[in-house]
Structure 1
């Protein structure tokens, strides 16, 4: 079942944060700069009509030895239950892939100005997709209590 493939970034994050941290991503502004060597402005035509985009990126600052395939507690909090690697959304993943939905503020040439993207300066972006409401969850959404507790300040701004 092991299959390998090569993915080439389509863009990089410019600005915003320089270090990944657990909370206070709210209000963080950055630019997703599309690779002008591979794309022209035609690649982003129509994107300005969307309020949000999904950004698929690589956690490029992750220590490759910091993988934890065994169940572990979120943020090592003893009050929260242990879960396996696929029950978390953190950077400790085999392929180091992240997905973020962020606000698209404006399109300026191949620069996508965004807010609340939880990726740091220099992050390789592997794909960009407009957010369609119809592609969101269908039906009842359920989750345990711990993600709500853990993420209470994730998109808060530092000023709050």
Structure 2
């Protein structure tokens, strides 16, 4: 397959400098758009939504450490080995992160959010409004280890 080249639309600014696993719920951050490409109109109307999906790059994950097979999530042997595509770890093949954040406000080309699990300086690849119509349809299921993993995350 041919490589895909992406250009960040902006950058995360937050007080969090290290990629720790938990406590992201109270984290306030801002996404500063690349003003050479985007003006305030790019964010027009996004503040009418309570949440936005933020697509970003785990740019500080060493590509040599990327996982491609199965492992225990967070290295916890009490949880089952599952494939990299059955977990949301940062050292994934394309190092892409995706988080649904609470929209706080917009100031010009800056989007203020809460609950973004990306550290200061993280490149942002895309933003999308979260719409209930795109939420899962029907019953949702997940294994017990996933519920346990998320207990302190937010």
Would you say same fold, with TM above 0.5? yes
Which aligned pairs between 1:15-94 and structure 2 lie closer than 5 A? 15-94=14-93
Counterpart for residue 152 of structure 2: 153
For the pair 1:140 / 2:116, whether they are aligned, the reply is no
Segments of 5+ residues of structure 2 without an aligned counterpart are none
Counting strand residues as a fraction of each chain, which structure ranks higher? 2
TM-score for both structures, normalised by structure 1: 0.93
TM-score for both structures, normalised by structure 2: 0.97
Aligned pairs, number: 154
Post-superposition shift, 1:55? 0.3
- Aligned-partner Cα distance in 1 for 2:11–2:28: 14
Q: Deviations over 1:79-135 (max 9, x none)?
A: 110011111101111111000100010000011011100001000000000000111
Segments of 5+ residues of structure 1 without an aligned counterpart are 156-160
RMSD, aligned CA:
0.9
Where do 4+ consecutive residues of structure 1 move more than 3 Å? none
